[in-house]
Structure 1
Amino acid sequence: MQILVDADACPAVVKDILFRAAARVEVCVTLVANQYLRTPPSRFIRSVQVGAGFDVADARIVEMAAAGDLVITADIPLAAGALGKGAHALDPRGEWFSAENIEERLTIRSMMDQLRSTGVDTGGPSPYSPRDGKNFAAQLDRFLARQRKAPAAG
């Protein structure tokens, strides 16, 4: 199991939480972005820089993802791609994407895109708060604890 991070828009606090978790539970965390990212020295943390372009990092994350992996992203189509490969998807605010909610989220995203294309100001997400960081950390800890308790496949 590895953790793949859509790092271009990932809040710094989430990256810090992931870096601490990587060391604590010895899980590989890979940040994928279209820019250079500085990471702390660790055999469990790496970064992958991809070329510029629309959804290049997302495509690379889906390509790298495997069943049981965890993908950290706020991008709904990327989460859908990860779920399609059998991976788990968690957004930086600590909300899970799932087979039960992904279609609804994709539909709402499409509807909002259509509204924006007609000039409607739909606003944006609320600012990232300390509560969001705490919720993310709690969800990540629960997930990692479940992974440690799960019997090894084989």
Structure 2
Amino acid sequence: MTIYIDADACPVKGEAETVATRHKVRMVVVSNGGIRPSRNPLVESVFVSSGPDEADKYIAEACGPGDVVVTGDIPLAAKCVGKGARVVKHNGEELTAANVGMALATRDLMQDLRAADPFRQGGGKMFSRADRSQFLDVLDRVVRAAGRGA
């Protein structure tokens, strides 16, 4: 099992490393630069070229059944779920075969609404301590389940 982190703009890299260390699981942090490599021997940094979606392409190609992917990118999540990986968003929401289609449709709808109204301001809610705590709990549970093959 490997935990893959879509690291660009990921607010929970430290929490994911804590879980990886607790379970003695390899973690691969994928970004296109600007992230300090960890000294943890379980954590590997992969730097991809700076083109659009290069980190996503790497993760989608590398992950498979039994792996866990941490991302907020819904199209990437859909690809990873399709390959049998388990996916956890930064806020602790788990994306599965049962709900990733709806998440993708919602993302596309919201993108269309934003494009139709150029004056629309603001966005989602701020990332909170509760989100961070929820992420830790869910990632720990998902890693344990993936380790059992459940």
Give the TM-score taking structure 2 as reference length: 0.92
Whose RCO is larger (CA < 8 A, sep 6+)?
2
Match of 1:9 in 2: 9
Alignment partner for residue 82 of structure 1, among 80, 83, 94? 80
Contact 2:86 2:142 in 1 (8 A): no
Deviation of 1:25 (Å): 1.4
Distance 1:22 1:131 in 2: 20
Distance 1:137 1:101 in 2: 20
Q: Which runs of 5+ in 1 are unaligned?
A: none
Distance 1:143 1:18 in 2: 12
Match of 2:19 in 1: 21
Give the TM-score taking structure 1 as reference length: 0.89
Q: Which runs of 5+ in 2 are unaligned?
A: none
Q: CA RMSD in A?
A: 1.5
Identity of aligned residues (%): 38
Q: Count matched residues.
A: 148
Change in CA separation of 1:98 and 1:122 when aligned onto 2, cut-off 3 Å: farther
Distance 2:42 2:63 in 1: 16
Match of 1:60 in 2: 58
Contact 2:6 2:70 in 1 (8 A): yes
User: Which stretches of structure 1, 4 residues or longer, exceed 3 Å deviation after superposition?
Assistant: none
Contact 2:71 2:77 in 1 (8 A): yes
Contact 1:62 1:78 in 2 (8 A): yes
Deviation of 1:19 (Å): 1.6
Q: For 1:81-120, list aligned pairs within 5 A.
A: 81-120=79-118
Distance 1:137 1:31 in 2: 17
